[in-house]
Chains A and B, each alone.
Chain A
Amino acid sequence: MSIRLSVVDRNGGEHEVETAPEGSLMETLRELDYGVSAICGGMCSCATCHVYIAPEWLAKLPDRQSDEGDLLAELQFRQDNSRLSCQIQLQQEHDGLRLTLAPEE
């Protein structure tokens, strides 16, 4: 069954996105015309898949691995709710997830 995400683009526009609960969040976001560029294709090397997760959803996502934390630590637009979307595997329980695309560095 597909799940729904609520995505705020870089101009503040809100979108409902329907997607299959499989693959990484980045793979869903890179399909969108306002989406992420994901230059390294999910290798946790580029940080161009940076998003802000709505605070109420943060705790429901798996913890950051060290690579992800390392890349995020030095980003200009880093916030406490920053995540790299390639490191989040989508699942059924992510139905309703709300996030905002971070500005490009």
Chain B
Amino acid sequence: MSDTHTEDHIYIVGAGHAGGELAFALRQQGYAGPLTIVGDESHLPYQRPPLSKAYLKGECEATSLYLRQLAAYEKANISLVLSRRVERIDRANKKLVFDDGREVTYSKLALATGGRARRMTINDAARAERTSNFRYLRNIDDVMAIRARFEAGQRLVVIGGGYVGLEVAASAIARGVKVTVLEALPRVLARVTAPQMSQFYEKVHRDAGVDLRTNIEVTGLEFNAAGDAVTAVHCTGGVVIPADFVVVGIGLLPNTEVAQAAGLDVDNGIVVNEYAVTSDPDIVAAGDCTNHPSVFCGRRIRLESVPNAVEQARVAAASLAGKPKAYDSVPWFWSDQYDLKLQMTGLSQGYDQFVLRGSMENKSFAAFYLKQGRLIAVDAVNRAQEFMVAKRMVVACKPFDPAVLADESVPLKTLAGPVQAAAPQA
């Protein structure tokens, strides 16, 4: 079966944060032709951050996660094909092949395929994935399964001490669950932050009652007699940790297979240029699935964050609409655990100096990362105002005097220079 469209028809593959944003951005950029989003989940495009926070704690409804409600898509004349996977891109004939065999013809294509949870490689993993109490966390269905077990006294083992794992731990503790976190590396958040920050978060979690263990690797899983539930996690050194349920957060793999099979350049993500255009000029890509040049970092990066998904989606839409603008945003991210509001800007990799302003004891501080004297990243905990200033400071990529950064008697904004004068308002 084949679609009859021979005219313009832009398709977006992936109905996630980037895909949803891209569709509306295309309309804002003036594209009025046929526009369809194809996604393999059953939901309207939604935000994932609450999946390990408010939504996991049961504090909000699934519909409030949706970027926009259905009426907004109807009004903007954006078609949605949900619960449908794109299996193949036939670039020579500009066709997409769906998992039900249907084929459609695109004039231009946007890939917003995001990523999927990295799976465990131990032998027992495949078996555990078929049980009901072992879960990765990436989508709404995962949360439904996990949340159902959030009862006081239940024993949860979280495998992985990254942001997702730690947020799950904090949400579970809030519900009275007994939590153990297992991290294979010597410290939590090792890939994204300084040892001082890791220590701070480790202490916070331990103080909250989490049994947090680092330098410990999972070697196997134990099952009940029926084989339909995991009952314990086995670790190096013969350690056995009984579990009522297990949540795994060990990272993300970008969904690049469809792009790769179509012959697009792929290298830890779908390779795009600063205009979000892939190696095929008729195909753009945005979000967690892209490997893109960062003006700020001076190298190619792949990010897993909402600000990146949103801003790159807009750049991709501008390119599709024939009004290209380069992507030059500075990365930023946030994480909420307990009463701690963490906001981060820049990328700290490669820093050679760490400067603390404020007090970790009082849970209110900003951490500055310098490389050869220049400021490359800032992590702010419960310091929203300084974070906003820090964003401007990091963009400037200038040298700062560490002693002055640490000196709380000097307001940060006097270092950053004034905000530009506000534009006149009607």
Contact = CB atoms under 8 A, between A and B. Distances in A.
A97 interface: no
Interface of B is mostly: helix
Nearest to B50: A41
Interface stretch (A45-53, A54-62, A87-95): A45-53
Given A46-B307, A47-B388, A76 B47 contact: no
B384 A23 contact: no
Interface of B: 21, 24, 27-28, 47, 49-50, 53, 64-65, 67-69, 71-72, 75-76, 306-307, 310, 334, 336, 341, 343, 383-385, 388-389, 392, 413, 419-420, 422-423, 425-426
Given A39-B307, A43-B334, A46-B307, A73 B385 contact: yes
A33 B72 contact: yes
A15 to B, nearest CB: 13
B423 A77 contact: yes
Contacts of B306: 39-41
Interface residues of A, number: 31
Contacts of A40: 49, 306, 334
A31 B64 contact: no
A31 B69 contact: yes
A70 to B, nearest CB: 4
A40 B343 CA distance: 11
Nearest to A23: B64
A70 B390 CA distance: 13
A100 interface: yes
A4 interface: no
A73 to B, nearest CB: 5
B385 A77 contact: no
Contact of A33 (B28, B69, B392): B28
Interface of A: 8, 12, 23, 27, 30-33, 37, 39-41, 43-47, 52, 67, 69-71, 73-79, 100, 103
30 contacts: A23-B64, A30-B67, A32-B72, A33-B24, A33-B27, A39-B307, A40-B306, A40-B334, A41-B49, A41-B65, A41-B306, A43-B53, A45-B334, A45-B336, A45-B341, A45-B343, A45-B384, A46-B307, A69-B385, A70-B385, A70-B388, A71-B388, A74-B385, A74-B413, A75-B419, A76-B419, A76-B420, A77-B425, A100-B426, A103-B423
Contacts of B307: 39, 46
A28 B425 CA distance: 23
Nearest to B67: A30
B334 A75 contact: no
A9 B24 CA distance: 16
Given A39-B310, A41-B47, A71 B385 contact: yes
Contacts of A41: 47, 49-50, 65, 306
B385 A76 contact: no
Contacts of A23: 64
Contacts of B69: 31
B426 A67 contact: no
B76 A12 contact: no
B419 A67 contact: no
A69 to B, nearest CB: 8
B425 A70 contact: no
B68 A30 contact: yes
Nearest to A81: B425
Give the interface centre of B24, B307, B423, B425 by most chain A CB atoms within 10 Å.
B425
A31 B68 contact: yes
Give the interface centre of A8, A33, A43, A100 by most chain B CB atoms within 10 Å.
A43
Nearest to B61: A23
B310 A71 contact: no
Contacts of B310: 37, 39
A46 B388 CA distance: 9
B425 A79 contact: yes
Contacts of B420: 76
Contacts of B50: 41
Give the interface centre of A45, A73, A103 by most chain B CB atoms within 10 Å.
A45
A103 B389 CA distance: 18
Nearest to B69: A31
Contacts of B392: 74
Give the interface centre of A31, A39, A67, A70 by most chain B CB atoms within 10 Å.
A39
The list of the 8 closest CB pairs from A to B, nearest first, reads A74-B388, A70-B385, A70-B384, A45-B334, A41-B47, A76-B419, A31-B72, A71-B384
B341 A67 contact: yes
Contact of B389 (A69, A74, A79): A74
B384 A100 contact: no
Contacts of B426: 8, 12, 100
A44 B384 contact: yes
Contacts of A69: 385
A43 B336 contact: yes
B273 to A, nearest CB: 24
A52 B310 CA distance: 23
